[in-house]
Structure 1
Amino acid sequence: MADRGNIEAIADEVGLTAPPASGNATESGCIRRNTVMLQPEDVLQREVFVREQLKAFSSTPATERKSNLVTSADDTPPSPPDESSFVIASLDCANVLLSAVKCRVCDDSATFGTGKRAYGLSIKMVIACVMCSDIASEWSSPRVNSNKKVNPFVMNVLATRAMQTTGNCQTALSDVFTTMNISHHELHTTMWQGYVKEKLVPAATRAADVMATSARSVRKLYDGLQLGNPSNNSVMYDGLWMTRGHSSHIGVGVVIQLFTGLVLDFVVFSNFCAGCERGPKVGDPAYQAWKDNHVCQKKNTEKKADEVEVEAGLILFERPLQRHNLRYTTILSDGDSRTYLALVDAKVYGFVPTTKEDCVNHVKKRMGTFLHNLLAKGTGSASERLGGKGRLTGDLIIKQSSYYGWALKLHSGDVRAMHKAVMATYHLITSNDTVSNHSLCPPDPDSWRRGSPHQNRYNLPPHMCKDLLPEYERFSDEKLLQRCLQGKTQNSNESLHSMIWALAPKEKHASLFTVQAAVA
């Protein structure tokens, strides 16, 4: 006899959300659901409704769109560790003020100075009477209120946060305040790293709360759009590395919801630990003792740089079902298909397939790359040369790539219209006074032609027109256009990447904790 719980789970997988039939329908251990058959006109009406809703949704500015969706999220910035305020003042100016103050013991004047003790930016302040010597002393900053045995100074914590917010590190902190003659006591490396680790915990907790709220908002949106099973979502996924090339030790994977731009999940990987690199190697007599005592904190993967994106994708796509009851069934990515192929092979959602969509901007770049390569190969006699006035030039390549991108974006949702618009760009540059074909050019002034008249401005060689045709047919292939049907780009990913690397610049060394805090 079939297990009832398993059947309910399978029914939910395929989106059968109708309530089970009443009565004795479930006495046998199976479940029967009442299915309402939609008529073709009902399906068409729903598609039109969804298309209009998504179009209106996309036209809303990103910040407004996100704030309207995540209404329950607490967007107030985290409070500083203390409400203390700080000023930068000259000791000479402070002594001018103190000259008006008299000692309460001997009625003589007092002076303001600093003691010998200092911790980072916090120093010991001393007020001394000319006759009575020391009167009072106090630290220049209060300490953070916590349960630690020794609490850090608020000024040091805020200075560390300021450096991290501007993408700087411990050295920059010391340079700034040494140059300003404020403090010549450097913040110790151990103290700096301790602040960074302490910041990571609240940042990660806050990020987890925001992403959970975003996931609930996305599911609520899909419920309203009636896009089938509300658990099935479309997302953008991209991997990024701390340094360029295949030698980066730190990689980041981020999942962003396709229509809302809300970040749903992220993971940061590092395959490098300075302690492991500098410690004794296998075969060294001291290796076993070192290994027993060494705790590797800055290394959480053994994968190479070019494998991190795939590993991050598998983790990020497997865990949303358990965390938020969501499946990332559509992935928008760039031309690298390794992550998508790994997801298909892993069958992360069982028999529920994962489909791939292409970023319009990346497809547009492929068109530009093809034309540049064609121009580079076209050397020879004047009759065979592809470049030159009225022929294939750098300006024309940029223009054609832009036309191709506009053709995809302006006709998103309609494969036939996209195909027609792409082929119109081919006929535009291959038409001349002898052979002219502008029948596919759109008359709409808001189209990619921008209302320009049908002018034959180019004189491409016949053999070049012949070589271009199969490539334009390849770029207007129905399967490719189907993957660009939404007309979406990875701009949200690129925007997030720029924010991350502003906090942890690529040209500066950063640890796993620093990058994790920057992403969170």
Structure 2
Amino acid sequence: MESTRGLGFKIVVSCSSCKPTFIPSCPYIKTAYEINTRFFFVMRLLGIGLRGAMKFCGLMDLPPPVQQTTYDMIIDNIHSAASSIVQLVLKQAVKEEQQEITKQNSSDDIKKLTVSGDGTWRKRGFTSLYGVAVLIGQSTGKVVDFIVKSAYCAECNYWNKHANTEQYQEWKSNHEENCQANHVVSAGKMEVDAMKELFSRSVEKHGVMYINYVGDSDSKTYTGLVNAKPYGDEIAIIKKECVGHVQKRMGTRLRECKKKNPGIGGKNRLTAKFVDKLSIYYGLAIRRNSNSKDDMKKTIWATFYHYGSTDSKPEHHFCPEGPESWCKWQQAKAKGELRNFHHDYLALPKTVLDAIKPIYEDLSNDKLLERCVGGYTQNSNESFNQLIWQIAPKMMHSEAKIVNIAAFFATCTFNNGVTSLLEVMNVLGISVGSGAHLYAAQEDETRIAKAELQAQEQTKEGRIRRRQQNLEDMNIPSTVEDSYTWAWYR
């Protein structure tokens, strides 16, 4: 062996009559062995940096990985290669979104998209140095654009301590274009600024406008977009609500009401289990009637009056009629058996109904339900956010470049599967053999099969039934304090 560098090495064949022959263990990528680039590419996908790689190599009795300077060079190469591929992936996603719009309704303008937006931070609260904002097309469920916001730059942090030197001025003149800090206000404003930037560059980058914006209950982002007017005064951005976040409002409001009115809690009243049940039914009322605001409102109030009904005073006028109704009273009515019908549950007392009725009135108002028409959700955004922090774990230190790489990898995988990562490897100069192709194909096939199964309506209904059954089977405490414990457990 003549020399080693990380996991790569070189052997020399010496002969007394000939010149020595040097044989590397693998090809070179610029000045680094291919195996080192491949190794850190995979380690980065697993959320492991240089320190983690050193631990892995040490305990596996392998040669120590490369030094910090070589590692930084490899990370720069990965960042550059992933950035070039992800731009192609985003452009493809926008084209697929437009094609899907044409299939669903040929009269719609394919240059006006409906997107769901969400922000995620590397740290809870308003002290996070890094945040990611992403827009996902509602028709395809694919990422159409994203941006990473950073309030920290390691180089700036170092050189600011030497601000009065000549070297500082020279460094500053060359650093501005490569500075990793692109956000100077509080972390709480990261999402607002990021969304404004994403919307303002949509026409230039993709030739489209994001007209319908699906967001959570945070009004700051939408207000910021309205005030920014990215498409001028004539084209307004319409806010759509995420059904999941609207459903959570019901649970939150009911728990707050129970806390302020201790007398409405307890057995046969507003228990923690019953709060959860009412929240689920509220969400189902919106999802199952996503095309009609009036049907949403009718079904929401059906739940309220259904659980306030007694044998002497049945109030099932909003419940769906017919023998196939979920309401047993309506089933008995359709079969002509009301004379022998008895409610199999204790109705909520009038004091409970009076306390929660204003909540139902507020969460069934026309303006709110109008924004819920379409049944939009941010579930795809939540899945994408989780994928980012799997690649750049929150419990480990990461600079802005690593968060960017995590967002690149997450976008490629989220939109096109593991196969798209092979394209990044090709750009890096890493040879992709049959083993990598086989793994990528199998992983994507498994992922698609699982997603199709979960998307089936009967599977969704099954998940809801199992969750409700679990609530009924478990001994859920009814005190205010324990209800918050249960919410945390969920």
- In which range does the TM-score fall when normalised by the shorter chain? 0.7 to 0.9
Tell me the residue number matched to 2:90: 211
Partner SS state of residue 306, structure 1: helix
Q: Is the 8 A contact 1:386 1:460 kept in 2?
A: no
**2:253 is equivalent to residue 370 of structure 1:** yes
SS in 1 for 2:4: strand
Other structure's SS at 2:26 match: coil
| Pick aligned residue for 1:141 from 3, 26, 38 | 26
> In structure 2, how many angstroms separate the alpha carbons of the residues matched to 1:301 and 1:472?
41
Question: Offset at 1:347?
Answer: 1.5
Q: Distance in 1 between matches of 2:306 and 2:292?
A: 21
Shift of 1:446: 7.8
Q: 1: CA distance between counterparts of 2:389 and 2:207?
A: 31
Letter in 2 for 1:122: G
| Displacement of 1:139 | 3.3
Indicate if the aligned counterparts of 2:200 and 2:230 stay in contact, CA closer than 8 A.
yes
Q: Which has the higher helix share?
A: 2
Corresponding residue of 1:191: 70
**Paired-residue identity, %:** 31
TM (norm. structure 1) is 0.70
Does residue 121 of the first structure (1) align with residue 3 of the second (2)? no
| Structure 1 residues 337-368: Cα deviation after superposition (integer angstroms, max 9, x where no partner) | 21211111121112111110000000000101
CA RMSD, Structure 1 to Structure 2 (Å)? 2.7
CA drift at 1:390: 1.4
Do 1:317 and 1:328's aligned partners in 2 also have CA atoms closer than 8 Å? Answer: yes
After TM superposition, the structure 1 stretch with the greater mean CA deviation from structure 2, 318-327 or 442-451, is 442-451
User: What is the rounded CA distance, in whole Å, between the counterparts of 1:258 and 1:466 in structure 2?
Assistant: 39
Q: How many residue pairs were aligned?
A: 391
What are the Cα deviations for residues 395-443 of structure 1, in whole angstroms up to 9, with x where unaligned?
A: 1111111101110000011111100000011112222345431221224
Matches within 5 A, 1:458-477: 458-477=346-365
Q: Which deviates more from structure 2 when the two are superposed, residues 242-251 or residues 319-328?
A: 319-328
Q: In the aligned structure 2, how far is the partner of 1:444 from the partner of 1:475?
A: 27
Q: Which residue of 2 aligns with 1:274?
A: 154
- Rounded to whole Å, the distance in 1 between the matches of 2:361 and 2:398 is 46
| Structure 1 letter corresponding to 2:316 | H
Give 1:335's aligned residue: 217
Q: Which amino acid aligns with 2:67?
A: H
Shift of 1:178: 0.9
Equivalents in 1 of 2:197, 2:33: separation in Å? 39
Q: Distance in 2 between matches of 1:178 and 1:359?
A: 48
Alpha-carbon deviations, 1:259-296, whole Å to 9, x = none? 211211111111101222233448x643x642431425
1:401 matched residue in structure 2:
279
**Following the alignment from structure 1 to structure 2, what is the Cα–Cα distance between the partners of residues 190 and 135?**
30
Following superposition, the deviation at residue 211 of structure 1 comes to 1.4
- Once the two structures are superposed, the pairs formed by residues 303-452 of structure 1 within 5 Å of their partners are 303-350=185-232, 351-379=234-262, 385-443=263-321
| Aligned-partner SS, 1:279 | helix
Q: CA deviation at 1:469?
A: 1.2
Partner Cα distance (2:322, 2:155) in 1: 64
* Corresponding residue of 1:485: 373
Q: Deviation string for 1:291-341 (max 9, x for gaps)?
A: 431425321221321111111111111111123221101100001121211
Distance 1:448 1:406 in 2: 13
In the alignment, the residues of structure 1 paired with residue 323 and residue 160 of structure 2 have an alpha-carbon distance, to the nearest angstrom, of: 71
Distance between the aligned counterparts of 1:416 and 1:160, measured in 2?
56
By how many angstroms is 1:516 displaced? 1.2
Task: Report the secondary structure of 1:356's partner residue.
Answer: strand
CA-CA distance at 1:445 after TM superposition: 8.1
Closer, same or farther: CA 447–488 of 1 in aligned 2, 3 Å: farther
| Counterpart residue number, 2:396 | 508
Q: Give the gaps of 5 or more residues in structure 1.
A: 1-113, 380-384
Alpha-carbon distance change, 140 to 444 in structure 1, aligned in 2, over 3 angstroms: farther
Cα distance in 1, alignment partners of residues 386 and 239 from structure 2: 25
1:177 to 43, 54, 57: 57
Whole-Å separation in 1 of the counterparts to 2:77 and 2:10: 25
Pick closer, same or farther for the CA change 1:136–1:216 going to 2, 3 Å: closer
Matches within 5 A, 1:80-159: 114-115=1-2, 117-125=3-11, 138-144=23-29, 148=30, 151-159=31-39
- 1:221 is displaced (CA, Å) by 3.4
How many Å separate the matches in 1 of 2:56 and 2:351? 64
Query: What is the match of residue 299 of structure 1?
Result: 181
1-structure distance, mates of 2:331, 2:393:
44
Deviation at 1:460, TM superposition (A): 3.0
Question: Cα distance 1:449–1:490, how it changes in 2: closer, same or farther (>3 A)?
Answer: farther
Amino acid at match of 1:375: K
2:417 corresponding residue in structure 1? none
| 1:125–1:138 Cα contact (<8 Å) kept | yes
The 3-state SS of whatever aligns with 2:114 is strand
Give the distance between the partners of 2:323 and 2:290, measured in 1 at CA.
18
Aligned counterpart, 1:244? 124
- Aligned to 1:431, the other structure's residue is in SS state coil
Q: The residue matched to 1:388 in structure 2 has which SS?
A: coil
Code of the residue aligned with 1:325 in structure 2: it is: G
**2:264 alignment partner, SS class:** coil
Gap regions ≥5 residues in structure 2: 333-341, 409-490
Preserved CA contact (<8 Å) 1:344 1:353? yes
- 2:125 maps to amino acid: G
The one-letter amino acid paired with 1:230 is I
Aligned mates of 1:395, 1:269 — CA distance in 2: 40
How far apart in 2 are the matches of 1:365 and 1:446? 29
Computing the radius of gyration over CA atoms, which structure comes out larger, 1 or 2?
1
CA change 1:434–1:387 in 2 (3 A) is: farther
Distance 1:261 1:208 in 2: 17
Aligned counterpart, 1:11: none
